[in-house]
Structure 1
């Protein structure tokens, strides 16, 4: 039970971070509704699950890859390009509701579920923070702490369960926020999300270049 609680604490810390994942979930939830936001979240959760499985069962191999020449640089550049692409997409497009002749508080889904899932998956996967976070957790908590497989399941289950619950709460909040918004507000939300993603991309690229 203590391991689950420890995992929940780590999950809550992650949930409070304001980053590209936060903006992606909120934007989808406000513009396209709960299912759209949850689908973006699903892509994120699958990515996290794959990271957990990979670092736990292949930590030694992954550590060798990470220590390879220019790994952080390539990962950072890939993440920067991905975030910039999504950011530019948000800046250069207009929410569907903004184009409607009559404003409705009901959400309008304009993206495919596969596209929403892929967005969440890519933003989370091609993110050096996510990659090194899970490696750090696996190496310090699981390996150094000599955690057994069943114990690791409880610990990582606590983290992932907390992430899922808090992301769903964010989507619910985003859907409720829409009720007090007007079309111009949706437009500004998309612009802010796009700018935020581009800023995160620039900061990420700057960090990896600085570390060279």
Structure 2
């Protein structure tokens, strides 16, 4: 079941999202270790989401008004991060605490990765749906669901570690100007992810 969960998780990872883009950006700017700290932050929150889904708490947030509020919150987080990233390249301070060049340490990246991951708490409902389907269609035990979830979580840290590694190699070959252009692209991508989340049906 761990292997099944890992393979399923890797399929999900191929759908590149804001988290993946952020980890690459941080690794390209500040190196592999910093990018990996971000990956650990993402994995921590994904793990909590999966645990909540397994425990069946997802039903609490699976209500129309709560889902709409969470969607708006997540969209705003991504758009604010995106705008801050773009303006930072032109030395315009949008929100000082969000400036990517002002991140004092890898712990700052860890915290920021957590915030970006938390911006999509509706992931809990997705995992709850997956687990309930596994329980009903494949008639597997709750213990096996836990192993499946653990395998999916392993895919997160594995994939994002690869992204951090690629980003750190990019740092060695990219000029400052190219990295600035990359950061602007990342900013626009975050804004696009946020807008898409806002208009996505819940």
The TM-score range, normalised by the shorter chain, is: 0.7 to 0.9
Aligned residue in 2 for 1:137? 130
- 1:31 equivalent in alignment to 2:25: no
User: Would the aligned equivalents of 2:89 and 2:180 in 1 still touch at CA under 8 Å?
Assistant: yes
Aligned residue in 2 for 1:65? 61
- Counterpart among 41, 44, 66 of residue 43 in structure 1: 41
> Cα offset for 1:143?
5.6
User: Would the aligned equivalents of 2:131 and 2:145 in 1 still touch at CA under 8 Å?
Assistant: no
- Counterpart among 92, 115, 127 of residue 120 in structure 2: 127
Aligned residue in 1 for 2:88? 93
- Structure 2: how far apart are the matches of 1:15 and 1:207? 20
Aligned residue in 2 for 1:81? 76
Structure 1 portions without partners, runs of 5+: 97-107
> Cα offset for 1:89?
1.6
User: Would the aligned equivalents of 2:47 and 2:153 in 1 still touch at CA under 8 Å?
Assistant: yes
> Cα offset for 1:189?
0.8
User: Would the aligned equivalents of 2:22 and 2:113 in 1 still touch at CA under 8 Å?
Assistant: yes
- Structure 2: how far apart are the matches of 1:166 and 1:122? 19
Q: Deviations along 1:111-164, whole A, 9 cap, x unmatched?
A: 433321122112112215523321222221246544334322321121111211
User: Would the aligned equivalents of 1:14 and 1:163 in 2 still touch at CA under 8 Å?
Assistant: no
- Structure 1: how far apart are the matches of 2:80 and 2:124? 20
Alignment of 1:1-212 (within 5 A): 3-57=1-55, 59=56, 61-66=57-62, 68-94=63-89, 110-127=103-120, 130-142=123-135, 145-208=138-201
User: Would the aligned equivalents of 1:21 and 1:123 in 2 still touch at CA under 8 Å?
Assistant: yes
Structure 2 portions without partners, runs of 5+: 92-100
Greater than 2 Å deviation, 4+ residue runs: 108-115, 128-133, 142-150
Alignment root-mean-square deviation, CA: 2.2
Q: Deviations along 1:29-72, whole A, 9 cap, x unmatched?
A: 10011111111111110101101111111x1x421431x23122
Q: How many residues align?
A: 193
Matched residue of 2:64: which SS? coil
Judge which range, 150-159 or 168-177, deviates more.
150-159
